[in-house]
Amino acid sequence: MEWSVMLRELAEGMLTSVEIFTLTLLFSLPLGLLVAFGRMSKNFLLRNIIKIYISIMRGTPLMLQLMVVYFGPYYIFGIRLPQSYRFTAVIISFVINYAAYFAEIYRAGIESIPLGQYEAAKVLGYSNAQTFVRIILPQVIKRILPPVTNEVITLIKDTSLAFVIAVSEMFTQARAIASAQRSVAPYVAAGIFYYIFNYVVAAVMEWFEKKMSYFR
Amino acid sequence: MAKKVLVAMLALFLLFALSACSDEKPGIETVKEGKFTVGFDKDFPPMGFVGDDGEYTGFDLELAAEVAKRLELELVLQPISWDAKDFELESKNIDCVWNGFTMNGREDLYTWTEPYMANRQVFVVRADAGISTLADLAGKVVAVQTESSAEAALKDKPDLVDSFADLIIVPDYLTALMDLEAGAVDAVAMDEVVANYQLEKKGVNFVILSETLAEEEYGVGFLLGNEKLRDMVQEKLEEMAADGTLARISEAWFGKDVTTIGK
């Protein structure tokens, strides 16, 4: 196989990986914030439901969650699966899994802000929503960037799990080519692809961190 | 300094490697001394799979056990990832791949024993799907295992593949059959031996199309050039065919003698 053909095949798989990556971040970052609020809620029931959710998401392998989300509707409820559900199931699994992790990062960030700031805001006449959006959140974002970068990089590498429900992302392509060509070159190429992708993500996050380092 | 240490270490390694060679008993050369290491896909019933007692079992593995016994070697069952079988062989982790291993199309890639049984690649569909011929597969979603001989057979029939709505590559047959049951795919292209066993065992509402995809043969595959071990295994297989052991094991698994050695 020509290098160009191999790289094209890998690039195709990369596209799927990037799609999973983008959609997951798009939904799990906001969802994570909602989950964090639920986790810190004064409502006993809500708080504990969210605690159980986070505990299950963190306590079971993502690979298993993928299979449950994909096959669950049929084996539990008897619903015939449409072909298009395959990719949707990947996104649902990744989003609910990553939202749980992001929620805990958000919580750590929010709880690290001293209570005095809330009191000061109250004295100045800020509403609760104003306090959060204008005073707390900007500081939280600054603080949680490093752990969020960690999760985002893990996410790129986790996209390879999508193959358990037969979504061919890059690593699957690499394995198939490696096996067909009896060569390790596709693995090397895949490794470089992942590294470059992660390098770009890390660079963007670093730039963002610098942007956010005002008042220092 | 560092360079000197490196050279010394390399020299040591070489010394070990050489002495390891000279220590080897004349006789049977396998990747692990005194052991016969068989690589197999553990999701491939009835050839090799996890049995009811949690131990690896299967038709092929039973044959391998019998051969190992006759060669006076200890059998090591090494489950492998099917798409990494070449690397496992080349890196000398396993002696052979023995697991419903289709010879057709791979004749020049491995050193093979004589074929020990025949197989066909078939399509499995849901009984209520209204699919009865290959032509009915037009516009349907078909699943096939990655790097399987069914996938290779499909590559030889581009017209048929073009008529499908989509060809999905799955990691293993069991997932493919779950997909079929759940309705996300309409047909699975796979080995008839495996399909028959699944249909019988699971009692699901599947049928096998009478039109087949390809006819083929199973053999035991060794690293290209490893004729010495291959010949020994071949000899024992022939011995087992002659004294009826092959037929006995085959009847236990398939209810009839499906083996082709010595016939």
In chain A, where are the structural domains located? 3-211
- The two structure tokens encoding residue A3: 């290098």
Strands B117-126 and B141-145 come out as unpaired
A contacts of B87 (beta carbons < 8 Å): 178, 184
Q: Does the pLDDT value for residue B5 go beyond 70? A: no
Strands B74-79 and B35-40 come out as parallel
Which residues fall within 8 angstroms of residue A105, CB to CB, at 6 or more apart?
A: A32, A144, A147, A148, A151
> What is the percentage of chain B residues whose pLDDT exceeds 70?
90
Nearest-Cα distance to chain B for A94, in Å, is: 19
User: Can you give B109-139 as a three-state secondary structure string?
Assistant: CCEECCCCEEEEEEEEEEHHHCCCCHHHHCC
Mean pLDDT of B101-117: 92
Pairwise CB contact (< 8 Å): B184 & A81: yes
Mean pLDDT of A161-172: 88
User: Can you give B237-256 as a three-state secondary structure string?
Assistant: HHHHHHCCHHHHHHHHHHCC
Q: Is A176 on the interface with B (CB under 8 A)?
A: yes
Q: Contact at 8 Å (CB) between A152 and A24?
A: no
- The two structure tokens encoding residue A84: 């298009």
- Percent of residues in chain A assigned helix, strand, coil, to nearest 5: 85, 0, 15
Q: Is A82 on the interface with B (CB under 8 A)?
A: yes
Pairwise CB contact (< 8 Å): A85 & B165: no
Mean pLDDT of B111-115: 94
Q: Contact at 8 Å (CB) between B94 and B39?
A: yes
The full set of domains in chain B, from first to last, is 32-116+219-254 (3.40.190.10), 120-215 (3.40.190.10)
Residue of chain B with shortest Cα separation from A78: B182
Name which of B146, B175, B182 is nearest A81 (Cβ-Cβ): B182
Q: Is A83 on the interface with B (CB under 8 A)?
A: yes
Q: Contact at 8 Å (CB) between B192 and B173?
A: no
What is the value of ipTM here, to two decimals?
A: 0.74
A3 bridge partner residues: none
pLDDT in the model for residue A81: 83
Please report where in the chains the tokens 């024992």 appear, as a residue: B236
Q: Is B205 on the interface with A (CB under 8 A)?
A: no
pLDDT in tens, A32-91: 999 999 999 999 999 999 999 999 999 999 999 999 999 999 989 888 888 889 999 999
Pairwise CB contact (< 8 Å): B87 & A184: yes
- The two structure tokens encoding residue B114: 């004589």
pLDDT in the model for residue A83: 81
Please report where in the chains the tokens 């008839």 appear, as a residue: B192
pLDDT in the model for residue B24: 43
Q: Contact at 8 Å (CB) between A171 and A190?
A: yes
Name which of A71, A172, A175 is nearest B178 (Cβ-Cβ): A71
Residues A26-44 as b or e (16 or more Cβ within 10 Å = b): ebbbebbbebbbbbeeeee
pLDDT in the model for residue A84: 84
Output the CA angle B249-B255-B259, nearest 5 degrees.
50
C-alpha to C-alpha distance for A51 and A107, rounded to whole angstroms: 12
Q: Where are any strands of DSSP class E within B25-174?
A: 35-40, 43-44, 48-50, 56-57, 74-79, 96-97, 111-112, 117-126, 141-145, 166-170
pLDDT in the model for residue B137: 93
Least confident of A15-24, A178-187, B35-44, B93-102: A178-187
Q: Does the pLDDT value for residue B21 go beyond 70? A: no
Number of residues assigned to chain B? 263
Name which of A74, A164, A184 is nearest B183 (Cβ-Cβ): A74
> A3-211: which CATH topology?
MetI-like fold (1.10.3720)
B contacts of A181 (beta carbons < 8 Å): none
The helix (H) or strand (E) run that includes residue B206 is: strand B206-208
Question: What is Dmax (Cα atoms) for chain A?
Answer: 71
pLDDT in the model for residue B7: 65
pLDDT in tens, B189-234: 999 988 988 888 777 789 999 999 999 999 999 999 999 999 999 9
pLDDT in tens, A98-132: 999 999 999 999 999 999 999 999 999 999 999 99
pLDDT in tens, B68-82: 999 999 999 999 988
Q: Does the pLDDT value for residue B139 go beyond 80? A: yes
